[in-house]
């Protein structure tokens, strides 16, 4: 058997060394190229895509400001305001909320907002369970509500320019429009039909495209001047007809989504909060739990459900029109354009 000379082996070793060095350079260049492409990634309802024409300066970052077309992004501190929209002082409540029913008459909402005396907190619903957006969104494939959306934009502009603390609330996994357009992102039954809960189709909390969609909504709202985003009805539905295979429990899946959202925005000045969430949900130090549909008699039980929260008086926000004094120790948002109940 013919042996390989020392000189030939030396040449091979040298060639192998050079080849490994070139391969390492190629790998490094690939990593740098991927990092470079990251600035052009845009989240859409289909997941993510590259847009080389986008303005990456609009991305959320650690900096305390965004382009001059939007308000500065500052950490939300909920301020106490009066139960009287005209500004009389009261430290028992801290602001107002505007729901989708109120937005059916945005002109009346704007008139009510103009009667407020800032600073105070105003929370406004901006996406319903049918998937309709109640403001001028630029998200690909989004469906706008059948109202005068430009009038709602005028409300947002007034709030932003007059120093109000702006909080946006959106339905999270209830989104019939997105589910119809992206069936693979929805919860389904055994026969492959879309599962219906509370009259709407629900999105799959474990789907990456759904998570990207939620992030894109929050980013857009932040650019419009909102300091806090509330992901409402944040839970996995209990429907027995839902066919769902996962190594994780439904509670774990929801917790993973919450953790991802909190981590994604942790370096920004946007507060991520949750409406009527599962009690086991992980929360950051700045997050709030927004609870609706609670009566005065149910306050203690509702607070007990979130007993793991430190300082629940500062973390729990009730949405109520009631003047029941059992709400007094907690933060409260009241309806802006309806009569306060006795």
Domain holding 73: CATH number? 3.20.20.70
The answer to whether residue 9 sits within a structural domain is no
- Please report whether residue 244 resides in a domain: yes
Domain of residue 246, residue span? 63-335
- Each residue's pLDDT expressed in tens, for the chain with a length of 342 residues: 555 665 666 676 777 777 777 777 777 666 556 445 544 443 333 444 444 443 433 333 323 333 323 233 333 332 323 333 333 322 333 799 999 999 999 999 999 999 998 889 999 999 999 999 999 999 999 999 999 999 999 999 999 999 999 999 999 999 999 999 999 999 999 999 999 999 999 999 999 999 999 999 999 999 999 999 999 999 999 888 999 988 999 999 999 999 999 999 998 889 999 999 988 888 877 899 999 999 999 999 999 999 888 888 989 999 999 999 999 999 999 999 974 333
In a domain, 250, yes or no: yes
Residue 11 lies in a domain: no
Q: How many domains does the chain have?
A: 1
Is residue 259 in some structural domain? Answer: yes
* Structural domain contains residue 18: no
Residue 205 lies in a domain: yes
SS (H, E, C) the chain: CCCCCHHHHHHHHHHHHHHHHHHHHHHHHHHHHHHHHHCCEEEECCEEEECCCCCHHHCCCCCCCCCCCCCCCCCCCCCCECCCCCCCCCCCECEEEECCCHHHCHHHHHHHHHCCCCCCEEEEEEECCCCEECCCCCCCCCEECCCCHHHHHHHHHHHHHCCCEEEEEEECCECHHHHHHCHHHECECCCCCECEECCEEEECCCCHHHHHHHHHHHHHHHHCCCCEEEEECCCCCCCCCCCCCCCCCHHHHHHHHHHHHHHHCCCCCCEEEEECCCCCCCCCCCCCEEEECCCHHHHHHHHHHCCCCCCHHHHEEEECCCCCHHHCCCEEEEECCCCCCC
For residue 52, is it within any domain? no
């Amino acid at each position: 058997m013919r042996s390989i000379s020392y000189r030939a082996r030396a040449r091979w070793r040298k060639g192998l060394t050079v080849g490994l060095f070139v391969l390492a350079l190629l790998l490094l260049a690939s990593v740098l190229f991927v990092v470079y492409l990251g600035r052009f990634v845009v989240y859409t309802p289909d997941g993510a895509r590259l847009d080389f024409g986008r303005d990456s300066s609009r991305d959320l970052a650690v900096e305390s400001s965004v382009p001059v077309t939007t308000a500065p992004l500052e950490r939300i501190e909920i301020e106490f305001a009066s139960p009287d929209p005209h500004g009389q002082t009261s430290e028992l409540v801290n602001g107002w909320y505007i729901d989708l029913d109120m937005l059916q008459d945005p002109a009346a909402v704007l008139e009510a907002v103009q009667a407020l005396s800032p600073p105070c907190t105003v929370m406004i619903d901006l996406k319903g369970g049918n998937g309709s957006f109640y403001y001028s969104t630029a998200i690909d494939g989004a469906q706008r509500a059948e109202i005068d959306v430009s009038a709602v934009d005028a409300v947002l502009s007034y709030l932003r320019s007059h120093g109000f603390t702006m909080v946006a609330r959106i339905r999270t996994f209830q989104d019939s429009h997105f589910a119809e357009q992206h069936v693979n992102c929805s919860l389904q039954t055994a026969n492959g039909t879309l599962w219906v809960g509370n009259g709407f189709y629900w999105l799959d909390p474990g789907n990456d495209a759904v998570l990207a969609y939620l992030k894109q909504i929050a980013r857009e709202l932040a650019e419009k001047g909102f300091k806090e985003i509330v992901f409402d009805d944040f839970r996995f539905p209990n429907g027995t007809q839902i066919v769902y295979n996962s190594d994780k429990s439904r509670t774990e899946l929801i917790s993973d989504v919450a953790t991802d959202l909190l981590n994604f925005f942790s370096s920004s000045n946007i507060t991520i909060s949750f409406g009527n969430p599962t009690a086991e949900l992980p929360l950051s130090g700045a997050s709030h739990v927004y609870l609706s549909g609670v009566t005065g008699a149910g306050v203690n039980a509702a607070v007990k459900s979130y007993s793991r929260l430190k300082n629940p008086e500062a973390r729990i926000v009730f949405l109520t029109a009631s003047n029941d004094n059992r709400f007094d120790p907690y933060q409260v948002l009241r309806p802006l354009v309806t009569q306060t109940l006795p």
